[in-house]
Structure 1
Amino acid sequence: MTDITAAYGLWGLVLINSVIFIMFAFTFFKPDTPRDWRSFSAFSAFLVALFAEMYGFPLTIYFLSGWLQTRFPDVDWFSHDAGHLLEMMFGWKTNPHAGPFHIVSNVLIIAGFFVISASWRVLHEAQGKGALATTGPYSLVRHPQYVGFILVMFGFLLQWPTLLTLAMFPVLVWMYVRLAQTEEQDVIATFGDAYRQYAKTVPAFFPRLRKLFGGGSTAGTINPA
């Protein structure tokens, strides 16, 4: 079997990449409340699990190695590039970093961080005014920061799928949905009918295509009644 020492066991890279991406997300999200910290901690755990398999120990490759080697005998599954499972399984023959799944992955990750950052700026400004955030990403969905986290995680899943992160992803999505529901009850307690009216026109997580492609948006901020 191929020696994987050079490809994995790079725990320093696990630490460096985990710290970089977690701090990068931290500068965008800026968790403040206990609810913020719970969602951010869960996202951080996902990143650590991802990079531990990307550079540390390829648990998924080991677990699936028999099946993978039987189905795709021409692939050196213990090379580092083979960790891009979707690119390998669908027969992308060149550098996997230039493959379609990797490109889509990068788009989703960048878009996710952009949504998180843009949402935080709008929310911070609205909170400073004691108003309800309804502009920017909040004109498209009611919980854009959670949408941003989900986009980033899904992007990483396309780029480097592992059994652990695949198991974590639906759990984290469920957690974000529950956090969003709890958060809405708190906002309703503050804004009352103003938030209920906003919620009637703006979906929770999936933007309406008409608004997404420039068909109009909710403008301004709504002050408490």
Structure 2
Amino acid sequence: MPISVVIADDQEMVRRGFRMILEATDGIDVLADVADGEAALAAARTHHPDVMLLDIRMPEMDGLEVNRRLRQDTEQQNHEQTTRVVIVTTFHDDEYVQTALHDGVSGFLLKDASPALLVEAVKAAAEGDSLISPAITVRLLQDMATRPGKRRPPTPEEPLTPREIEVTCRVAKGLTNAEIAQDLYLSLSTVKAHLTHIQTKLAARNRVEIASWAWETGLCAE
């Protein structure tokens, strides 16, 4: 079954570019592209895509509100959310990042992301994983961690092991599972097992929340 995608962005050139890239990729099917938040929510409810690419700032309803509405839909139905959301952002959207992280989005991309990174983000989200563009990871999350009045990060019920801390810090820097495996000389399956244990200890829904926690605690500050 191909990965189904809905694209929502108020810039036609962005939508067209994303559609061309994804439709040229085997195993990905773009069901719709829309220009505002209301249309995005309607498309999600009609098509039930595996992945939605959502701009943050859109007419009618922003991407963060669309994500919240989708979560409410699945909670009311007592189902696990099946449509994963990847936020498309720019450096000017820093103030929205903390909200998005804690609303369980499956990743962040810059609008000028490479075709390969766009495809990788869609595939990761469809698999229940997540990807943060390395170009924005450190800037956005570090800014969030040092912002006055930031929330107190939760303390895990069970401490992370030294190896889990190494994996966590690499997630916080935007490395993919394959890159973490190469960096730490681990198998891909071992990295995934560590991530599962880390998510359980932190009560995190995905690697985006793992990265958020790492920066908020200062665990990985160099």
Using structure 1 for the length normalisation, give the TM-score.
0.28
Higher relative contact order (CA 8 A, sep 6+): 1
Which structure features the higher share of strand residues? 2
Using structure 2 for the length normalisation, give the TM-score.
0.28
Which structure features the higher share of helix residues? 1
